[in-house]
Amino acid sequence: MIFIFFVGCTYSKGKVKPGDIQNIEIDVNMAGDSNLWNMIIDDIDFIKLETNDSCVLDEIKKIVLVKDKIIILTWKGGIYIFEKTGKLVKEITNKGKGPFELIRPMDMSISGNGNLMVLAEGKIVEFDSSGNPLSEFFLETQNGVISPINLYWFSPESIYSWCTAIYTSKSENKFHLYKQNNIGTVKAKFFPFQHFSYGVASRFTQIGNNEIVITPPNLNDTISIIKDGLLSPRFCITIKQNRDRTKNPLTGLTNNDFQLPDQLNNYLSRYKIYSLSSNVVLNKTFLTFWLNTPGESYRCFYNTELNMAYVFNCFLKGENESVFYPGSIYCSLDNEFYSSKDAWKVRQLLGNGQTSSSFLPEKRRLKLLEKLKDVKDTDNPILMIIKTKDQ
């Protein structure tokens, strides 16, 4: 491809055509600081999620959007449905092994007809947008598909599931991504196992309506999307620091290398390898992801229309976090990203006076501070809606 990108505020010439794979080169040595936010963010808003005795969320694992609802899956397996105002609609608490019951929900997605599909140890339970159970399905079949950890259900004939790598001698099982139907028939396989993909959760992320972005399974690899039930590559990320070495750091010495997470972590630390972490999320204009290596963390925003990358060094000396800086980003809709901050962190930042903003007009900044003034340490996480600039 002809598009090569560098961080800072540089960009390539020309417009990207539909179907092109955009090549993004990241140079972490050119990272900037928080002053770049005003080139990306147009506005933000906060949603305070309702808290009561039966609704106290732990750490957010995933957020999906459907109609006028926000649905949250937590790491402890709780599923909560809120209105866009933050009012609690329902908590899905039917845990167990019976019909429509769930054991350790691992992932969820919105189907093509707008229903909620929840994955729990190979079983998929379908709910309407209000949390009422409709049907259930089982994916384990005689085809020998490994138990999935990520799910995207477009239709009964187009179900995508992601599996971590395991020790297996069966070559037909050495793939991460399976496309199958609701009776378990495998229709296609993608992403063969690699050393660096062991134990990787792909983190299917909702982008808009019925479109999913797939986090790459390797340290720097192709980011794919599923749109209208079809998989296609969209971006290819190259990290300059990973490439400039006398020995290729992405190649194991033997087939037994990097089959355990500790081996991979030690290798990352030894060679100071930068790897993608957390969700990769795409909205109307920007692709965003994190890069990490031991002791360093960078947040990347890539403008898909201007072919321009912005990279923020999260540990620059003198960098002061603000209550208005984005936290973890979970999903997107049009030109918005859905982020979150823990209530205790919001309270701490407010108490320390860390309330500056380079991208908000003063009147808007004060209005948002007024909205946050009664946040308590015991409240649920605060959702942040980030509206990015249109080009």
Residue 10 has pLDDT above 60, yes or no: no
For residue 340, tell me if it sits in a domain. yes
Report the Cα 25 to chain-centroid distance in Å.
20
Question: Model confidence at 8, in pLDDT bands (50, 70, 90)?
Answer: very low
For residue 16, tell me if it sits in a domain. no
CB-facing half-sphere around the CA of 247: CA atoms within 13 A: 8
Mean pLDDT of 283-287: 94
The dihedral formed by the CA atoms of 213, 219, 220 and 226, expressed in degrees to the nearest 10: -20
- ∠ CA 230-276-201, nearest 5°, is 60
Residue pLDDT, tens place only, 30-66: 887 767 788 899 999 999 998 887 788 888 999 999 9
For residue 3, tell me if it sits in a domain. no
Q: How many domains does the chain have?
A: 1
Report the Cα 385 to chain-centroid distance in Å.
15
Contact 63, 330 (CB under 8 A): yes
Tokens 């060094």 sit at which residue? 313
Residue 373 has pLDDT above 80, yes or no: yes
Q: How far apart are the C-alpha atoms of 277 and 291, rounded to whole Å?
A: 6
Q: By mean pLDDT, which of 170-174, 305-309, 345-349 is the weakest?
A: 170-174
For residue 52, tell me if it sits in a domain. yes
**Shortest CA distance to 231 belongs to which of 154, 139, 138, 146?**
154
Residue 117 has pLDDT above 80, yes or no: yes
For residue 102, tell me if it sits in a domain. yes
Contact 161, 108 (CB under 8 A): no
Domain of 344? 22-388
Structure-token pair, residue 205: 């992320």
The pTM of the full predicted model, rounded to 2 decimals, is 0.88
CATH code for position 339? 2.120.10.30
Q: Is the dihedral of CA 227, 231, 237, 242 positive or negative?
A: positive
For residue 15, tell me if it sits in a domain. no
Cβ within 8 Å of residue 370, ≥6 positions away: none
Mean pLDDT of 322-345: 92
Pairing of strands 222-227, 230-239: antiparallel
Phi-psi region of 361 (alpha: psi -120 to 50; beta: other; left: phi over 0): beta
For residue 42, tell me if it sits in a domain. yes
Rg (CA), the chain: 21
Would you state the pLDDT for residue 101? 83
Sort 208 into a burial class: Cβ within 10 Å, 0-12 / 13-18 / 19+.
middle
Q: CA dist 225 to 5, 125, 228, 387, Å? A: 20, 24, 10, 22
Q: How far apart are the C-alpha atoms of 12 and 168, rounded to whole Å?
A: 44
Sort 6 into a burial class: Cβ within 10 Å, 0-12 / 13-18 / 19+.
middle
What is the distance between the terminal CA atoms of the chain, rounded to a whole angstrom?
23
For residue 10, tell me if it sits in a domain. no
Residue pLDDT, tens place only, 241-263: 887 655 555 555 555 555 565 66
Burial 71-84 (b: 16+ CB within 10 A, else e): bbbbeebbbbbbee
Q: How far apart are the C-alpha atoms of 43 and 387, rounded to whole Å?
A: 5
Q: Is the dihedral of CA 247, 250, 256, 261 positive or negative?
A: positive
Q: By mean pLDDT, which of 10-14, 78-82, 155-159 is the weakest?
A: 10-14
Tokens 């490994």 sit at which residue? 146
